[in-house]
Amino acid sequence: MKNPESQQLIVAGVGIELLRKRVRNVNFRIYPPDGRVRVSAPLRMGEREIRRAVEAKLDWILRQRTRIAEQPRPPAMRLESGELHLVDGRRCRLEVVDLPGVSRAELLPGDVLRLQVPPETDAAGRLRVLEGWYRQRFTDRLPQLLARWEAVVGRRARDCRVRRMRTLWGSCSTGTGRIRLNLELARRSVRCQEYVLVHELTHLHERGHTRRFYALMDRFLPDWRERKRELEQHPLWRYHDESGVSAL
């Protein structure tokens, strides 16, 4: 569903969704899986100036769309026994057990992810149980991660929570000090979780992705580029049912 306040533009043959917001600069986002382009621009910036800004970034936009188009599409998951699911970056075999009583998930020796649900539970119900397990597992780890990396970065988050996010690995509100981390990170390695957390904490020093920001990242987490590549190695997990696709 498109934002009711958005405007559609065509620049050099590329469709652009334009949103006017309380921002200082023109910001660009390219969304998988189809390379949709969204531009956020200051409220009072004229359309001609916005078009010039898009044209100046056109080569970058086209490169990003090509990169997204070339990414392998992950297999659709139906939450059935035998599927492979990532847990802390490891591939674990899902074992669905139909038993009356309390629904739960647990990680067993041998990288077996056991999902216990009542016999009548459909795929959507299994998803809710598994997602809740991932969320709790990641949330329980956050205090330890924050204690370690806030000390390194020298900034403290006022609040840090796990959320389902469609396009971002994390976000930071520099005005409030609130950090949000993508639930998908619960499936990735601790190294990847740390990279995103440090990235967002660093925004409490520097709001934008400036040279200073990346210099600070180099100081706080010297191997952040390697961790970023690891994070992007696996595409987002997908779940299929008759109503469509839902990402964890």
Q: Domain extents for the chain?
A: 7-70, 76-242
Angle at 192 between CA 191 and CA 197, to 5 degrees: 100
- For residues 98, 101, 102, 104, the Cα torsion angle rounded to the nearest 10 degrees is -10
Reported as a single tens digit per residue, the pLDDT across 230-239 is: 988 765 555 4
pLDDT at residue 34, rounded to an integer: 77
Single-letter code of the amino acid located at 131? E
In the predicted structure, residue 121 carries a pLDDT above the cut 80: yes
The pTM assigned to this predicted structure is 0.74
pLDDT band at 29 (very low <50, low <70, confident <90, very high): confident
Please, which residues have CB within 8 angstroms of residue 206's CB and are 6 or more apart in sequence? 212, 213, 216
- For residues 145, 146, 152, 155, the Cα torsion angle rounded to the nearest 10 degrees is 160
CA–CA separation, 197 vs 108, rounded Å?
27
pLDDT at residue 77, rounded to an integer: 74
Mean pLDDT of the chain: 88
- For residues 221, 223, 206, 189, the Cα torsion angle rounded to the nearest 10 degrees is -80
pLDDT at residue 239, rounded to an integer: 45
**What is the dotted CATH code of the domain comprising 76-242?**
3.30.2010.10
For residues 86-118, b (16+ Cβ closer than 10 Å) or e, as one string? bbbbeebebebeeeeeebebeeeeeeebbbbbe
Please, which residues have CB within 8 angstroms of residue 24's CB and are 6 or more apart in sequence? 42
- For 130, list phi and psi in degrees, rounded to 5: -65, -40
CA–CA separation, 115 vs 36, rounded Å?
36
- Whether residue 19 contacts residue 45, with contact meaning beta carbons closer than 8 Å, is answered with no
Name the DSSP letter for residue 184.
G
- Whether residue 160 contacts residue 172, with contact meaning beta carbons closer than 8 Å, is answered with no
pLDDT at residue 242, rounded to an integer: 34
pLDDT band at 203 (very low <50, low <70, confident <90, very high): very high
Q: How many CB atoms lie within 10 A of CB 85?
A: 20
Reported as a single tens digit per residue, the pLDDT across 139-167 is: 999 999 999 999 999 999 999 999 988 77
